[in-house]
Structure 1
Amino acid sequence: MLEKYYIRPATIDRIHESWIAPEVEQYVSWMAEQRYTDSSVSRRVPIVVSFGEFAKAHGASEVKNLPDHVEPFVQAWIGERAKRRSARRRKQIGDEVRNPIRQMLRLAVPGYIGRGRLHKPDNPFERQAPGLLRYLIEEKGLRQRSIYQYQIFLRQFAAYLERIRVDNLAKLSPTVLSGFIAEYAPPRVSWSTVRNACGVLRVFLRYLNREGVMAKDLSSLVEFPQSYRHAGVPRSISWEQVEQVLAGIDRRSASGKRDYAMMLLLATYGLRAAEVASLTLDDIDWRNERLKIRERKAGNTTTYPLSAAVGAAIVEYLKNGRPATTCREVFMRCCAPHAPIGSAAVVCRAAHFIRKAGIRVPRAGSHVLRHSCVQRLLNANFSLKHIGDYVGHRSASSTQIYGKIAVEQLREVAFSNGEDVL
């Protein structure tokens, strides 16, 4: 196996002489199965071999002792090779060294997981409110995406309580609640986010009172901040700018073919990032030229006519860009290990190409293209009901939020002398 990646016999001999040579070869076989490129394999093997020698020099005599030497080796590597680099670059180099070692140890050491990212508890108040998630799912009927948003706000509230040293929910008071809302307010977050946090907090307080954790229901003391539906400026960009974004994607590479198809789906159908990421091969009916979007945010399913441009972009990606895999999801990671792309990656790619096109817009991301799709339909004089059905809204009021104002018409008024509106 090693002969595939190294030309010099002396290099292969040095790897075979390592006391962790069986583990290294097992790791190389795993990378080959995951379709890592030859350059990635040849770059990672010297790191894990050096790690084995470092661990042996510092007292490791068995493979099970290796995990104790991961962080010391990484710090020594950074000290020798990146001492004068910036803090950001040192962290990046540390991750580049640490990741292959952890991958090898997961294969070689039973039960090894590695430090990785700290696991965030599903319920940060498990000790005092153990049935909270069950209440949200079974009684409130919230979908998984809503549960995820609840968890974000509840973790932030738990961190705030820990910081002010309130360890008993029965001790919550109006002062504590108002302090959290005041600390959470803009400019840290938008008013809409504060409003959502207040809604979650009210539900949580009502639950605590019902379960007897709190003697009084303090939910009425959490007041929603005043906000106005049409106060903000929409994040949409003109269709000419959308075309500029699409033109900036280099479709010669596999990732470019994938990204172009994803951006077309966002702009043509106004899809959400999660809907693009979850699209499967079974959702495309090539014979009848139909595209099905399942399990949308409102709980519905929408079937679209398959646009010729979108269909051609997907076909080009499937034929010449998508890695060989048994996964049914359409869009995959280009780098090994090959796995379905996530919604966060769709958002990041959209933001990248918007910025690359030189377009400045608040919170660049996939929703900008969704806004642009809605705005284009509004400019074409489609009714809110038709637009809402097209982008998967449950009510027309949701559509009004996306197509708040007729930007082009107001721009014409601003540039004219005003006589047209008299």
Structure 2
Amino acid sequence: MVSNYVFDIRSRERLSRSGAGTYLDGFTDWLASRSYGTQTIRSYIFAAARFMSWAQVNGHASIATLDESSLTAYRAHLANGRSGKRAHERSNAYCGARRFMLYLRQSWFVPEVMEVLPPLETRFRMWMRQHRGVCESTLDTYGLVVRRLLDALGTEPRSYTAAQLRTFVLAQSRGFSRSKAGNVVSAVRAFVRFLVAHQECPDGLRHAIPRVARWRQSGLPRYLEPVDIERILDACDPSLPLGARDRAVLLLLARLGLRAGDVAGLRLGDLDWTHGRLRVTGKSRRATWLPMPQDVGDALLHYLGTARPAVAGDGVFLIVRAPYTPVVARQVSSTAQRAIQRSGVRAPSLGAHLFRHSAATGWLRQGLTLQAIGALLRHRDVDTTAVYAKVDTDLLRQIVVPWPEEVSSC
């Protein structure tokens, strides 16, 4: 109820007369249920009322006519300086209006914004889920490429030619790393395979797509020395909620070599305190139990006991501001990047995967076999793990093939 946050009677009367008045009690309860703070809720109540006053002046006679373009126009109004608000006030006003629109959508007062995908892409995504078991993040990556392809070549696949596909792939790959270019090629190949399966383009087009030169194990793994990892961990202040969360995240990356998506996907039920282990469901979507090192367990207990917001939901790591939703893989990588930068360590790269390489390199130096490291990293193929042999000179001597001293005559 608004009355729980706005105590002045005249202010409540003005709010009730605003275009948002009918919806403010529900909006207030919606914010409270998502653990927003008292001051934030009060600020967003007034922001919603101001947004609706602006909307009515600008031709929106009712809530039902509001859409995403209304928010965009309101943001421009706040940014042009004529609103009379300081920068932080403009930010709060827009955030409050955006939250109000989200509440209206979720409560069915205004239509939900739905992303309309091209029909061919929709069918392609469905086919990839059913016949390839591809995860949603990969489908999103492929979808961006497919959308560009449809924009460039049209929506009639029977008219595609080998030259057009090659030109598209080369144009989309130009300036990217081999890895990014490989994603483009993989997306186009998968899309053409789908079209061939439905007899919507000639079978021969599959062979027209150029390959990206990827020499297996051609590079060296990038890694951090143990002393640098400790400096990065020390850059997180565990007495603060953000520092406690970030330190626990980084320890999972550094000690267990988890991927960013593994950390983001952790749920409270994945932590087995009785047996000192945790369950990880990686890209293969197969659950694996890994041992929980002591310092990892201590950091998790500290975060869960002192810093994690007490909200419904079973995500282990949450964002530090309301509505306290679970972090996503991108935020885990950003956490790693910020910690590296704070520490002053000159790292060969930034992001979560650097810690995975560092963990594998450390295990190899401690004497673990490539098979054991592959099991910890959950590699399907030992060849994927073999790249780490390059950082161990003694192991290289064991696997190198002697050069023949003489050649027998024919």
TM-score, normalised relative to structure 2: 0.83
Tell me, yes or no, if structure 1 residue 282 matches structure 2 residue 269: yes
Q: Is contact 2:264–2:317 with CA below 8 Å preserved after alignment? A: yes
Shift of 1:386: 0.6
Question: For residues 186 and 65 of structure 2, what CA distance do their matches in structure 1 show?
Answer: 49
**2:293 partner letter:** S
Question: For residues 158 and 96 of structure 1, what CA distance do their matches in structure 2 show?
Answer: 31
Uncovered stretches (5+) of structure 1, i.e. residues with no partner: 410-422
State the SS of the aligned residue for 2:214. coil
Structure 2 counterparts to residues 24-103 of structure 1, below 5 A: 24-67=24-67, 69-81=70-82, 96=95, 98-103=97-102
Partner of 1:193: 180
Tell me, yes or no, if structure 1 residue 166 matches structure 2 residue 154: yes
Which of 390, 400, 418 aligns to 2:386? It is 400
**2:23 partner letter:** E
State the SS of the aligned residue for 1:332. coil
Partner of 1:418: none
Question: For residues 235 and 249 of structure 1, what CA distance do their matches in structure 2 show?
Answer: 23
Shift of 1:269: 0.5
Relative to structure 1, the CA distance from residue 66 to residue 357 in structure 2 (aligned partners, 3 Å threshold; closer, same or farther) is same
Tell me, yes or no, if structure 1 residue 231 matches structure 2 residue 218: yes
Partner of 2:141: 152
Question: For residues 63 and 154 of structure 1, what CA distance do their matches in structure 2 show?
Answer: 33
Uncovered stretches (5+) of structure 2, i.e. residues with no partner: 395-410
Tell me, yes or no, if structure 1 residue 136 matches structure 2 residue 136: no
**1:99 partner letter:** R
**2:117 partner letter:** P
Shift of 1:265: 0.8
Shift of 1:167: 3.6
What count of residue pairs does the alignment treat as equivalent?
A: 394
**2:145 partner letter:** Q
Partner of 1:391: 377
State the SS of the aligned residue for 1:218. helix
Relative to structure 1, the CA distance from residue 59 to residue 119 in structure 2 (aligned partners, 3 Å threshold; closer, same or farther) is closer
Shift of 1:4: 4.7
State the SS of the aligned residue for 2:279. strand
Partner of 1:121: 117
Relative to structure 1, the CA distance from residue 186 to residue 246 in structure 2 (aligned partners, 3 Å threshold; closer, same or farther) is farther
Q: CA RMSD in A?
A: 3.3
Shift of 1:59: 4.7
Structure 2 counterparts to residues 214-225 of structure 1, below 5 A: 214-225=201-212
Identity %: 22
**1:262 partner letter:** V
Further displaced range: 1-10 or 231-240 = 1-10
Question: For residues 229 and 22 of structure 2, what CA distance do their matches in structure 1 show?
Answer: 52
Question: For residues 181 and 265 of structure 1, what CA distance do their matches in structure 2 show?
Answer: 37
Shift of 1:248: 0.6
Partner of 1:245: 232
Q: Is contact 2:231–2:345 with CA below 8 Å preserved after alignment? A: no
Question: For residues 186 and 389 of structure 2, what CA distance do their matches in structure 1 show?
Answer: 23
Relative to structure 1, the CA distance from residue 203 to residue 26 in structure 2 (aligned partners, 3 Å threshold; closer, same or farther) is closer
Partner of 1:357: 343
Relative to structure 1, the CA distance from residue 125 to residue 62 in structure 2 (aligned partners, 3 Å threshold; closer, same or farther) is closer
Relative to structure 1, the CA distance from residue 237 to residue 121 in structure 2 (aligned partners, 3 Å threshold; closer, same or farther) is farther
Question: For residues 231 and 138 of structure 2, what CA distance do their matches in structure 1 show?
Answer: 33
Question: For residues 123 and 246 of structure 1, what CA distance do their matches in structure 2 show?
Answer: 48
Question: For residues 59 and 188 of structure 2, what CA distance do their matches in structure 1 show?
Answer: 52
Which of 351, 354, 363 aligns to 1:368? It is 354
Shift of 1:108: 6.2
Tell me, yes or no, if structure 1 residue 306 matches structure 2 residue 305: no
Relative to structure 1, the CA distance from residue 214 to residue 348 in structure 2 (aligned partners, 3 Å threshold; closer, same or farther) is same
Q: Is contact 1:292–1:301 with CA below 8 Å preserved after alignment? A: yes
Question: For residues 370 and 91 of structure 1, what CA distance do their matches in structure 2 show?
Answer: 41
**2:342 partner letter:** K
Residue by residue over 1:52-103, the C-alpha shift from the partner in whole angstroms, topping out at 9 and shown as x without a partner, is 22233345444434558544433322223589999xx999789536413413
Q: Is contact 1:329–1:340 with CA below 8 Å preserved after alignment? A: yes
Further displaced range: 178-187 or 317-326 = 178-187
Question: For residues 74 and 191 of structure 2, what CA distance do their matches in structure 1 show?
Answer: 45
Question: For residues 346 and 6 of structure 1, what CA distance do their matches in structure 2 show?
Answer: 38
Partner of 1:267: 254
**1:175 partner letter:** A
Tell me, yes or no, if structure 1 residue 205 matches structure 2 residue 197: no
